[in-house]
Chain A
Amino acid sequence: NAGVTQTPKFQVLKTGQSMTLQCAQDMNHNSMYWYRQDPGMGLRLIYYSASEGTTDKGEVPNGYNVSRLNKREFSLRLESAAPSQTSVYFCASRALSPGRPRNTEAFFGQGTRLTVV
């Protein structure tokens, strides 16, 4: 079982460059998330997707866009990277849907360490 897979694991960008972080889960989960983790700030929600075709903003969405390509995949795009976006990015998924117990935990990918210079 792969669980939640993120690519790449490491990336260095120059200011102004763009890139897409990829996330895929094989657990048939409906809900998917992107968080960023900075020292002393914990995990902050960037965007989430409750189901295929829907996305919603979290706490810190500025500078990011997302796409829920299908049920398995949820990508995060930085259109014009800034040094303030240097962080570790985590993708997560949960099984939430009508008719299922609404008490399921989130599973996290291994993270993408992004440095913007």
Chain B
Amino acid sequence: QQPVQSPQAVILREGEDAVINCSSSKALYSVHWYRQKHGEAPVFLMILLKGGEQKGHEKISASFNEKKQQSSLYLTASQLSYSGTYFCGTAMIYNNNDMRFGAGTRLTVKP
């Protein structure tokens, strides 16, 4: 039930854009996105809900395709501070308490 993330790693130059994908084989109630810096705890970025509601970060956006149970995180005009590992977390419709995370996408932004 662990969601599948792609790509595993991305290397960008400052100002470039990136897309990170997350998919699940189960019907989802919500998709959560987090960023983790090395040696630190994951930090919340964004939630997307079944039905289209979302809340999150001012410079990062995301989409949720309910029919395909897929979500994408869009990072535009990347900054050095965007470097880290991004995780998607998914909560199922039948049990919103059960939250699983993908294997992560390591993003490196270079000057």
A12 to B5, CA, bound (A): 32
B89 pairs with A48, CB closer than 8 A = no
A102 pairs with B29, CB closer than 8 A = yes
A41 pairs with B103, CB closer than 8 A = yes
- Taking residues whose C-beta sits less than 8 angstroms from the other chain, chain A's interface range is 20 to 34
B97 pairs with A108, CB closer than 8 A = no
Chain A interface (Cβ < 8 Å from any Cβ of B): 31, 33, 35, 40-45, 48, 50, 56, 58-59, 90, 94, 96, 102-111
Q: Looking at the complex, which one of B41, B55, B99 makes contact with A90 (CB distance below 8 Å)?
A: B41
Dominant SS among interface residues on chain B: strand
Smallest CB separation, B106 vs chain A (Å): 10
Chain B interface (Cβ < 8 Å from any Cβ of A): 1-2, 5, 29-30, 32, 34, 40-44, 47, 49, 53, 55, 87, 89, 96-104
Smallest CB separation, A53 vs chain B (Å): 14
Q: Looking at the complex, which one of B41, B43, B49, B104 makes contact with A42 (CB distance below 8 Å)?
A: B104
A71 to B53, CA, bound (A): 29
Q: Looking at the complex, which one of A40, A41, A48, A107 makes contact with B99 (CB distance below 8 Å)?
A: A48
Measured CB to CB, the nearest residue on chain B to A43 is: B101
A111 to B42, CA, bound (A): 10
30 intermolecular pairs with C-beta atoms under 8 Å apart: A31-B97, A33-B99, A40-B103, A42-B2, A42-B87, A42-B103, A43-B87, A43-B89, A43-B101, A43-B104, A44-B101, A45-B98, A45-B101, A48-B97, A56-B97, A59-B1, A59-B100, A90-B42, A94-B99, A96-B96, A96-B97, A102-B96, A103-B49, A103-B53, A105-B47, A106-B32, A106-B44, A108-B42, A108-B43, A111-B41
A31 to B43, CA, bound (A): 17
B41 pairs with A109, CB closer than 8 A = yes
